[in-house]
């Protein structure tokens, strides 16, 4: 019986999807259905409970502010004004509504408004592109720049910008932190050389990172009128978030099991082979733990940095809505909050799946 | 000139006041084709001794000579089977062996190397498990992979550091026979470190006890005059076997006793009286 040796890590191109497939292939048994129903039931109950408490809380706040408004009208302008105010609030007219924590229903309708708005803007954009198509062809023929749509961004565009920023920042963190982490993990003297650097810069706040990056990028872009907000924000996000990966990589590399090092020595692996065949694979679990922290930190600091950098993402959206103070602004802020939370959760799940795929039990070889 | 020679080896860990001398005054010479077993208590410095011979450690004083040349580094000529298998968990059985073979024969073509991997995996009868990861294997199978990995590099000398220590008695017996088979097939030199006197007698030409550390040193050697191939069941009735076994065990018991009497210390016990929590 002839067996093929698999010398590549995975023989099938899609083998890395296997755990996912297994995870999502339902294997139904009677007990499973009951226990999963129970789990889902508990989750639904807790969500309903949360929504209920939220609704009651926002109602209480609404009533408090409404009572204050009527009271104020009464003391300042008399009974007639107070009655008018009361009638106005009761009618639901947007001009006199108390501006406080929005209720779940308001947030839901804001979300729908944002989606409708997105559809309108998308249609606008398509129409604009169609209208300008001929003109643009002419412009390009004349060697001029084509006219692009510069209307306001829709909510979906804003979310996509934020995700793009986070991923660019994450990639930057990965490209900086992993190689440096490996190098300082390998050499104890470099480790002590870099230690003060890491200790000093790790606790620096996102705002300060932004300012630092702004100082540098502003000078680099001098004389260039193009928008550098995206560049500044993704670099700031990357620098802010990379420390967990740097520290974890250095630790993983420096604490490789002595048995594996002995194997590398006995087999007389060269330095390159030793790093890539023994040290890196064995520190992968720790590196991925670091990357997971980095991704969640990146998503967390994103809001503050986008706000400062005026990058068209969720951070700026939240800030502009707050400054705007329109009737549904508060509800839109809450929508953004949920979107941020849910995307953060999905990103973390994504990283966890990848981490589980590359991890192995430390004692498996022993 | 002996094949492997250890001259007045001392090995000290730590420095200054914290220094502990683990091995002192070790002298050993092994001839080509010989099977030597070193038997000692746990913690007597057996692994240190192995690492000195395979080149992972350097002696504090004295020298290790391999074919007349001082050992300064590890070498493909001396294959090592570690006590705890030390397989790389992210590689399959085939990949673990392939990694070693590729380093040992850098000039060979890929298909030759793969054939070699298959041959050696087959030799330890693990062909069905060649694409499995170590975690999917039992302890005995893992150790067989480690044996295949060490032997596939075609070393002139096999150094085994308690290779079967963690295995159950049945697997142990099987692997002992497998190792003996391989050893006798092309008469490599072998050094076996073990804490099992019977294993030593069954497998080796000579047994040398290692006195317990610190300051461990080698005791007098015992020659095993039993014809090969040895039969495990017949061994029990062999008068020679009984005599040697008793002599070695008596020796080990004696040094164990004398060590106990040396290390007698006076401990002052603290005065403790029961305390009442009720009052």
Of A1, A260, A284, which has the smallest distance from its Cβ to B127's Cβ? A1
The stretch B124-138 carries a mean pLDDT of: 88
φ/ψ bin of B34: left (φ > 0), alpha (ψ from -120 to 50), beta (otherwise): beta
B74 in A contact zone (CB under 8 Å): yes
What is the distance of C-alpha A258 from the center of its chain? 38
What pLDDT score does A7 carry? Answer: 46
- Residues of chain B contacting A3 with CB distance shorter than 8 Å: 118, 127-128, 130-131
Residue A43: both structure tokens together: 């989750």
Does residue B214 have a cis peptide bond before it, meaning omega lies within 30 degrees of 0? yes
Does the pLDDT at position B13 exceed 90?
no
Q: Inter-chain contact A267–B100, Cβ cutoff 8 Å?
A: yes
By three-state DSSP, how is residue A89 classified?
Answer: helix
How confident is the model over A66-89, as pLDDT tens digits? 888 888 888 888 888 888 888 888
Q: Inter-chain contact A3–B118, Cβ cutoff 8 Å?
A: yes
What pLDDT score does A298 carry? Answer: 92
Alpha-carbon gap: A4 to the closest alpha carbon of chain B (Å)? 8
Does the pLDDT at position A45 exceed 90?
yes
By three-state DSSP, how is residue A163 classified?
Answer: helix
Taking a C-beta distance cutoff of 8 angstroms, is the pair B248, B202 a contact? no
- Residues of chain A contacting B79 with CB distance shorter than 8 Å: 266
How confident is the model over A179-227, as pLDDT tens digits? 999 999 999 899 899 889 889 988 888 889 899 998 998 888 887 777 7
What pLDDT score does B250 carry? Answer: 87
| Closest of A156, A149, A158, A148 to residue A233, by C-alpha | A158
Q: Inter-chain contact A7–B94, Cβ cutoff 8 Å?
A: yes
Does the pLDDT at position A361 exceed 70?
no
Q: Inter-chain contact B142–A365, Cβ cutoff 8 Å?
A: yes
Burial B3-12 (b: 16+ CB within 10 A, else e): bbbbbebbbe
CATH 3.40.50.300, domain B1-75+161-279, yes or no: yes
Higher pLDDT, B251 or B275: B251
Closest alpha carbon within chain A to B55: A266
Does the pLDDT at position A53 exceed 90?
yes
Considering only residues 243 to 272 of chain A, which have any Cβ-Cβ distance to chain B shorter than 8 Å? 259-260, 262-263, 265-269
Parse chain B into domains and list their residue ranges. 1-75+161-279, 78-154
**Residues facing B189 on adjacent strands:** B157
Q: Inter-chain contact A5–B130, Cβ cutoff 8 Å?
A: yes
The stretch B158-182 carries a mean pLDDT of: 84
B98 in A contact zone (CB under 8 Å): yes
* Alpha carbon distances (Å) from B238 to A185, B200, B201, B225, B242: 57, 15, 12, 10, 7
Does the pLDDT at position B213 exceed 70?
no
How confident is the model over A243-257, as pLDDT tens digits? 999 999 999 999 998
Q: Alpha-carbon distance B182 to B171, whole Å? A: 17
Does residue B229 have a cis peptide bond before it, meaning omega lies within 30 degrees of 0? yes
B72 in A contact zone (CB under 8 Å): no
Q: Alpha-carbon distance B82 to A263, whole Å? A: 9
What pLDDT score does A16 carry? Answer: 52
Does the pLDDT at position B163 exceed 50?
yes
How confident is the model over B179-195, as pLDDT tens digits? 888 888 878 899 999 88
- Residues of chain A contacting B94 with CB distance shorter than 8 Å: 5-7
What pLDDT score does B228 carry? Answer: 79
Residue A66: both structure tokens together: 């409404």
Closest alpha carbon within chain B to A257: B86
B133 in A contact zone (CB under 8 Å): yes
- Residues of chain A contacting B126 with CB distance shorter than 8 Å: none
């Amino acid at each position: 019986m002839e067996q093929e040796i698999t010398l590549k890590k995975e023989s099938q191109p899609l083998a890395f999807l296997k755990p996912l497939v297994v995870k999502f292939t339902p294997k139904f048994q009677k007990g499973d259905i009951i226990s999963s129903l129970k789990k889902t039931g508990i989750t639904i109950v807790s969500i309903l409970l949360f929504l209920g408490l939220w609704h009651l809380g926002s109602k209480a706040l609404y009533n408090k502010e409404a009572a204050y408004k009527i009271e104020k009208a009464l003391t300042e302008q008399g009974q007639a004004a107070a009655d008018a105010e009361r009638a106005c609030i009761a009618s639901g007219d947007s001009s006199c509504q108390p501006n406080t924590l929005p209720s779940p229903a308001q947030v839901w309708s804001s979300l729908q408004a944002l989606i409708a708005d997105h559809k309108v803007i998308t249609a606008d954009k398509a129409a604009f592109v169609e209208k300008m198509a001929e003109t643009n062809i002419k412009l390009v023929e004349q060697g001029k720049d084509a006219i692009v749509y510069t209307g306001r961004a829709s909510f979906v565009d804003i979310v996509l910008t934020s995700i793009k920023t986070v991923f660019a920042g994450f990639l930057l963190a990965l490209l900086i932190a992993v190689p440096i982490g490996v190098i300082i993990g390998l050499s104890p003297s470099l480790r002590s050389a870099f230690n003060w650097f890491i200790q000093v810069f790790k606790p620096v706040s996102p705002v300060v990172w932004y300012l630092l990056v702004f100082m540098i990028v502003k000078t680099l872009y001098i004389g260039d009128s193009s928008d550098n907000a995206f560049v500044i924000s993704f670099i700031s996000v990357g620098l802010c978030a990379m420390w967990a990966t740097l520290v974890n990589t250095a630790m993983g590399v420096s604490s490789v099991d002595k048995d594996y090092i002995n194997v590398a020595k006995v087999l007389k692996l060269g330095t390159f082979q030793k790093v890539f065949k023994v040290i890196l694979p064995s520190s992968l679990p720790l590196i991925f733990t670091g990357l997971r922290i980095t991704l969640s930190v990146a998503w967390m600091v994103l809001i503050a940095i986008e706000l400062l950098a005026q990058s068209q993402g969720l951070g700026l959206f939240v800030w502009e809505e707050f400054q705007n103070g329109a009737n549904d602004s508060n509800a839109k802020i809450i929508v953004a909050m949920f979107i941020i939370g849910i995307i953060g959760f999905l990103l973390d799940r994504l990283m966890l799946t990848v981490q589980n795929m590359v991890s192995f039990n430390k004692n498996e070889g022993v | 000139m002996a094949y492997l020679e250890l001259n007045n080896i001392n090995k000290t860990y730590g420095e200054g006041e914290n220094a502990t001398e683990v091995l002192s005054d070790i002298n050993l010479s092994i001839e080509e084709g010989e099977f030597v077993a070193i038997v000692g208590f746990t913690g007597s410095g057996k692994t240190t001794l192995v690492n000195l011979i395979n080149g992972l450690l350097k002696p504090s004083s004295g020298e290790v000579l391999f074919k007349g040349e001082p050992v300064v580094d590890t070498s493909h000529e001396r294959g090592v089977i570690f006590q705890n298998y030390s397989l790389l968990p992210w590689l399959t059985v085939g990949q673990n062996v392939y990694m070693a073979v590729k380093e040992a024969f850098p000039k060979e073509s890929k298909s030759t190397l793969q054939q070699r991997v298959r041959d050696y995996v087959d030799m330890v009868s693990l062909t069905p498990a060649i694409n499995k990861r170590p975690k999917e294997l039992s302890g005995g199978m893992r150790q067989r992979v480690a044996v295949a990995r060490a032997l596939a590099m075609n070393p002139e000398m096999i150094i085994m550091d308690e290779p079967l220590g963690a295995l159950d008695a049945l697997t142990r017996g099987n692997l002992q026979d497998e190792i003996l088979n391989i050893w006798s097939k092309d008469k490599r030199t072998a050094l076996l470190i073990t804490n099992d006197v019977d294993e030593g007698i069954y497998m080796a030409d000579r047994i040398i006890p290692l006195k317990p550390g610190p300051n461990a040193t080698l005791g007098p050697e015992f020659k095993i005059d039993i014809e090969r191939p040895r039969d495990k069941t017949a061994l029990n009735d062999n008068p020679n076997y009984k005599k040697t076994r008793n002599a070695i065990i008596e020796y080990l018991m004696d040094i164990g006793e004398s060590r106990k009497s040396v290390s007698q210390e006076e401990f002052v016990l603290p005065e403790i009286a029961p305390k009442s929590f009720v009052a």
